[in-house]
Structure 1
Amino acid sequence: MGVSTLFENEDYLIVNKPFDMYINSEDENEKNSVTYNIAKHDSHHSSSTHPLHFVHRLDYATSGVLCIAKNKTSSAAAGKLFEKRDTKKYYLAVVRQHVQYEICDIDFPVAADPLTAGSSHKMVAMTSPPGSPETSLLQPRLAQTRLLLLETGYYGKDPVSVVLLKPVTGRRHQLRVHCSAIGHTILGDYTYSNKEDSAPHRMSKIENLEHNHGARNV
């Protein structure tokens, strides 16, 4: 499955990243990456003769719009937009069970799971009260996600919901962790379902980007 170009000019390259694909890799022989499909293998290195700057990232399992800067100036400009939250990210996801509310804010802090520090670097939502020993030990970072229910239905015989997710903050695996924490694991998310959710063959989450100041919605 290849990487399709949605927009390109002298400063930016906007592509559609397929699911189950890395953004880049230090392994020169890794062909399943966005970098391999659109540029030279070392393009994500600062020492490259034609460096690319990934303004934001998507999980391996997530498909969606990826913004790539072609130079440091455009990278810095885009980075400021993300920092000021002038550029918003939206994710369409299918989650397990029927969500019982139309809209909600999920405000659980997120921290690295110490049990996977040497392997997959899984994250965990801090649902304990602030100041608890667990929270203090893991040094979590504040994280907020807004969830909007679009519709409910079934995947086979299993109840599912289609939701629009907006990450107000941008922590590692934030949406997957937050959905799991409220009892609505993303369909196909093997990692955050305690390795129980192996169907369908992909995790049902895609990203869309939007800029507040008139840039086209891709």
Structure 2
Amino acid sequence: MRAISVIGAWLTALVAASRVLPSQAAELRLQPGADVQSALARAAEGDVVILPAGAYRGPVRIDRRLTLQGEPGAVVTGPGQGSVVTVLAAGAGVRGLTVHGSGMNLEALDSGIFVAKTASGAVIENNRIEGNLYGIYLHGAENAVATGNRIIGIQEGRLNEAGNGVSVWNAPGAQVIGNDFRYGRDGIFVVASQRNKFSGNRFRDLRFAIHYMYTNDSEIRDNVSTGNAVGFAVMYSHR
């Protein structure tokens, strides 16, 4: 009877320890041109999926907390419909990719990288996002971060038919830091948000560098606006 009790206590301790210790994250390195979505389906929470230099087909959806990381020369191209990369999971990351080939539907919010409301704390960093309707869209993603990206918008057509470099909608605590913006409609466009930070960004050849409305308790600091129609437009916002 005592032996059974000891074994039971040992098993209980083992289960408790397994709950405390984090699982070992893995690096999954793809072959150039491999199917990214299939690789993401095999990956576990916390893994890093690495794309070597090469051409990869979008669209891509990230539905668990992992990082999609490109090495120099890794290019993800969408089919010209919808968003190229969609981030759905909290704490997920996208870094080091060249992303282009979104759709051109403004109402559908077609983006190079679309970060959904469920993706709180997502980090989008050091990507080149070129020729998409919207560059990055933080759509309700609380505390999401866009940093170190180079975002080149659409140069053809009417300005009102272009999207913004980074759009932020109702994403409290989101930060847009150290990005480089050129072409498109507005560099950063924000509406109905709060506690946001916009710092260290560079803007060229846009309508507005930063344009926000109904966005309270937010900070604009150390940004550089050159050759834009308007530098900063802060409307209907407090503090």
Larger radius of gyration: 2
Q: TM-score, normalised by structure 1?
A: 0.23
Higher RCO (Cα < 8 Å, 6 or more apart) = 1
